[in-house]
A and B are shown apart, each in its own frame.
Chain A
Amino acid sequence: MARRKTDNPIFPAIVLVLAWIVPGAGHVYIGRAARGLIIFVTVTATFWAGIAMGGIMTVDSRTERWWFAADLCTGVNGLVSWYRSKRVYAEVDRELKSGPYAEQFYEDAPNAVGEESRRYYLSSAHRAEVVSDLRQRYVDKILSDKGYRLAAPAETVARAYSGVAGLLNALCIFDAVVLVLMGRGAEPGSTTPQRRKDDREGSDA
């Protein structure tokens, strides 16, 4: 396998980080600028189209962990959306702790546990689960009242768009890193001095 032997070697770790932070940046860095630009425009537009359809809560680290992991593959796009959804959740938590919904929640919680324990024996873990379910219902209600709650069918489309954007960027990250490891940086068929040198080294190996 031919490896790139230049004065300025390209480190796969740098390519990996660049390609993750800004979609397409890894390809631009290794000398495939046109491809990098296409990847940047496509992945970014798809991700934000998903957010436009689903709103802030499309990137949801609490209830949709697999989609969240896929969203984070879009780098800075995913991080910005995560930050915005965290701010909304902090606001919701504040309201549930001391806002207008708190009183109702603290009234309902013992009732919900009592109702369940009349039917089944509840261990302490089950009690915590009942309270956690009730809490989630309240969180949904608050989000709904604020107009942020994401429900089907918009939920399906929005999460698919932003998640697929993340998975496509993961593919691009993998491609950029593998190209560097194989010593194939610049565009195939290009006539730059670097490319000619790479091609010579490739045929020698």
Chain B
Amino acid sequence: MMILALFERPMTLHFYSLLWLLMPLCVVVAIVYKTLRTEHLSRLPGEIARLVAYMAAGLGILALGLWMLHEYWPFS
């Protein structure tokens, strides 16, 4: 019953925690995608780590680009 209660009511999350909760989602996507795609399971951890790094770098670059647009956009 205690475990079920954990899944009944919503948690209180703060807006700034949203971005950090994106990373576990990226890891999950990388795990499932690489589990399906990789030929040899022994290489799985390395391939997951590489894909997560690519995703984090891509999201970081995107965030930086959007932040720069927001801060330095000349026509606003």
Contacts and interface: CB of A to CB of B under 8 A. Distances in A.
Contacts of A100: none
B40 A56 contact: no
B25 to A, nearest CB: 6
Contacts of B15: 153
Interface string B2-41: 0000111111111101100100110011011101100111
Interface residues of B, number: 26
A52 B28 contact: no
A89 to B, nearest CB: 14
Nearest to B36: A175
Among B12, B25, B36: residue with most chain A CB under 10 A: B36
A56 B7 contact: yes
A38 interface: yes
Interface residues of A, number: 39
Interface stretch (A6-14, A65-73, A124-132, A155-163): A155-163
Given A34-B41, A160-B25, A161-B25, A172 B10 contact: no
B10 A158 contact: yes
Contacts of B6: 52
A35 B41 contact: yes
Interface in A39-64: 39, 42-43, 46, 48-49, 51-58
Contacts of A153: 13-15, 17-18
B18 A51 contact: no
Contacts of A148: 8-10
A17 B6 CA distance: 30
Contact of B9 (A34, A55, A156): A55
A150 interface: yes
Contact of A150 (B10, B21, B29, B32): B10
Contacts of B31: 38, 42
A150 B13 CA distance: 11
